[in-house]
Chains A and B, each alone.
Chain A
Amino acid sequence: MGERMFVPLMLAPIFFFLIFFYGYPTLFNFYNSLTDLSLLGLKQGGAFIGLRNYVELLSSKDFYRVLWNTLFWLTAVSVALRIVLGLLLALLLNSATLRHYRLTTASRLVLLVPWATPPIVAVVVWRWLLDGRQGVINKALEGLGLIDTPIAFLANVDTIWPALITIIAWNTLPLVTLTFLAGLQSVPPELHEAAEMDGANAINRFFHVTLPHLMPTVVVMTLLLIFWTFNNFVYIWLATGAGPGLFTNVLATEIYIKGFIDFELGFSSAVGMVMAAMMAVFGILYFRFVALREFREIL
């Protein structure tokens, strides 16, 4: 068999998979977004209404609050926080001090605990911890005299986003840290020694040796975190149910609420399409900064 046939044949299964499990549902969803399909009228189907769902969505003020919640709080803040904390934790775990006290293995095992916790369990545990009446955190803060009255962290509009981000960060930070740690360990030690001979102090060495070496990892990790977080449904829905009211509503929860609570499947599909378009932008960035470079290395 010639190579001309062999390559497409080997690629055929993945294309088949993509077409039937991604291509077809996307097109079907796009069609639905152009109808007034209701969850209660699945049998008779929806009537074609053109772009009316999109017009309604893009002209509603609520949509922009949801967008802000999704882009700023859920994605930007939580991703930036995890990148910075992950880097700091990785530096700490890689430090000679930790090695000196033979804590390397122990610290890495401890680090894996949050990661091994399923999101559902993590959220439930944190809801108890953050509880306004019985929560350990409130008890501790009161015990320390830092607060007089308990704070309902997951209901108070001032604390709800920080509390949500804390839960997300706690559960997913280990992966970020371990990835950075692997990157740190691949920095050739003689580069640090050369920099030391060149008169670079620890801070200079971080910015001139460590960080440039880690930069590709940081870029990939940032984009992956954006992918995983931007369309995440679990944490918000389980922790606050998009509330109080719709205060913490994000795109993923908006799709669910519109489709399965308000029964407006057509409108919900339109939200989904908008969300997919935004994901596509991140996808293009990923392709541009990461995948393309890898392709070039292979080809």
Chain B
Amino acid sequence: MAGLSLRGVTKQFGSVTALTEIDLEITHREFVVIVGPSGCGKSTLLRVIAGLEQLSAGEIYVGDQPVHRVPAAKRGLAMVFQNYALYPHKTVAQNMGFALKMAKVRRDEIDRRVVEAARILQIEDLLERKPRQLSGGQRQRVAIGRAIVREPKVFLFDEPLSNLDAALRVDMRVELAKLHNSIDATMIYVTHDQVEAMTMADKIVVLRGGRAEQVGSPMDLYHRPANAFVAGFIGSPRMNQLPATISAVSSSGVSITAPGGLELSLPVAGHDARPGQPVTLGLRPEHLTVGPQSGGTSLDLDVYVTEPLGGETILYGHIGDNSTLVVKVPGGTDVGKGQRVPVGVVPAMCHLFTEDGTAFTPLHTNDKVERIGASSS
């Protein structure tokens, strides 16, 4: 078992640059999720780590061994493919034992390790079946089993749950988390689903256009997104991003004017900000409250769609000059279509981004943000 380190990893396909100078430190036993929209280079990054693609520049270390010139099979990594990639004519046991057979491991040792992996994944009774006789979830387990059997230093997962139906996906998510705890392995997991990223990761890497936009813990990314893209990508429903203008800058924060006559004083570092500068105000739907406000700032929301989900309700409404605002409220809240309701905004929970998307640095500490975040949800 070992950590993994990427230094300036760059990948070009002809004139197209798929990955630009990715730096990443992954410690032993860490569960790292690489997330981003389609075409962001996340699968390419995984394939470069796996050795299925040669990198154009940069270095990859497993432990303290450079592996970027080492063939895929010798890197000590195992990969679980999106479509499982099971050998269709081999039984489950043969599929799982194939790598060991190639490595000329003794027959009884192969059997022992295959049975052990099958036990962990609860597929012992499937060992003699062929892949086509298995359900999607079972194939997924076999694909994971094939990786476990090799006892790799690092597991690589390429969108492993995307072919499963929603209920099974949630189950497998939990199983994978359990597996990660039980087999003491470093895992790198690629997905486009931010929920998978948030729920499973120790560390998330958000990719866009082949660049790492931000690397951090799920809560880091949620509470302190480095830019408007990360802020919009992490969290569901998406963060509201409203155009705003800076009205004043002081040592205690930045004052802004936003649609709907909203005037806010945000506790962020002003630095280069100047009055009149256009900025983007970020408001998470779950950090907004509906109803008569005891304090703080509020604005009026003209609700045009409600999505009652049972435990919670999502409100879609207009504010001021027809900007759309999404608000998440507890399930019992009595708000109907066409109603105008006051929405409360807590300045400490707001995010502010420059025109190019970079986040303003909050003045308060991380702990305080997490505490407020926890209490409001």
- Residues of A bordering B, CB below 8 Å: 188, 190-191, 193-200, 204, 208-209, 212-213, 215
B102, A197: Cβ atoms under 8 Å?
no
A242 to B276 alpha-carbon distance, docked (Å) = 99
Are A198 and B81 in contact, CB atoms less than 8 angstroms apart? no
Residues of A within 8 A of B83 (CB): 188, 190
0/1 per residue, B40-63, Cβ < 8 Å to A? Answer: 000000000011100000000000
Residue of A nearest to B71 (CB): A196
Contact A197–B52 (Cβ < 8 Å):
yes
Closest to B98 in A: A198
Q: How far, in angstroms, from A200 to B82 measured CA to CA in the complex?
A: 20
Q: Tell me which residues from 70 to 97 in chain B have a Cβ below 8 Å from any Cβ of chain A.
A: 72-74, 77-79, 81-83, 85-90
Contact yes or no, A199 B85, CB < 8 A: no
- In the bound complex, residues from chain B placing their C-beta under 8 Å from that of A191 are 85, 87
Closest to A205 in B: B102
Chain A residue numbers with a CB within 8 Å of B73 are 196-200
Shortest CB distance A40–B (Å): 60
Taking CB atoms, residues of chain B closer than 8 Å to A200 are 73, 98, 102
- From B51, B52, B88, B102, give the contact of A198 (CB < 8 A): B102
> What are the residues of chain A within 8 A of B77 when measuring CB–CB?
197
Measured between beta carbons, the chain A residues less than 8 angstroms from B74 are 199
Residues of the B chain whose Cβ atoms lie less than 8 Å from the Cβ of A209: 87
Q: Which residues of A contact B90 (CB under 8 A)?
A: 208
Known contacts A199-B73, A212-B89, A213-B88; A193/B102 CB under 8 A: no
Of all chain B residues, the one with the shortest Cβ separation from A212 is B89
Contact B52 A196 (CB under 8 A): yes
In the complex, chain B residues whose CB is within 8 Å of the CB of A199: 73-74, 99, 102-103
With contact pairs A190-B81, A204-B102, A208-B98 given, residues A196 and B87 touching in the complex (Cβ less than 8 Å): no
Number of B interface residues, CB 8 Å?
Answer: 24
- Given known contacts A212-B89, A213-B88, is B102 in contact with A194 (CB within 8 Å)? no
Chain B neighbourhood of A193, CB < 8 A: 52, 72, 79, 81, 85
Known contacts A196-B72, A196-B73: does B103 contact A188 (CB below 8 Å)? no
A290 to chain B, nearest CB (A): 17
- Inter-chain contact count A-B, CB under 8 Å? 58
The answer to whether A190 touches B87, judged by C-beta atoms less than 8 angstroms apart, is: no
B228 to chain A, nearest CB (A): 35
Q: With the chains together, A213 CA to B89 CA distance in Å?
A: 8
Can you spell out 6 A-B residue pairs with CB atoms less than 8 angstroms apart? A193-B81, A197-B51, A197-B52, A198-B98, A198-B146, A200-B73
Would you call A197 and B98 a contact (CB within 8 A)?
no
- In the bound complex, CA of A194 to CA of B323 (Å): 49
Set of chain B residues within 8 Å of A190, measured between Cβ atoms: 81-83, 85
Q: Are B87 and A208 in contact (CB under 8 A)?
A: yes
A-B contact sample (18 more), CB < 8 A, given A190-B81, A197-B78: A190-B85, A193-B79, A193-B81, A194-B146, A195-B87, A197-B50, A197-B51, A197-B72, A197-B73, A198-B99, A199-B73, A199-B74, A200-B73, A200-B102, A212-B87, A212-B88, A212-B89, A213-B89
The interface residues of chain B lying within 8 Å CB-to-CB of A212 are: 87-89
Interface membership of chain B positions 260-278, coded 1 if the CB is closer than 8 angstroms to chain A and 0 otherwise: 0000000000000000000
How many angstroms between the C-alpha atoms of A190 and B146 in the bound complex? 14
Closest to B75 in A: A197
CB-CB < 8 A to B81: which residues of A? 190, 193-194
Q: How far is the CB of A127 from chain B (nearest CB, A)?
A: 45
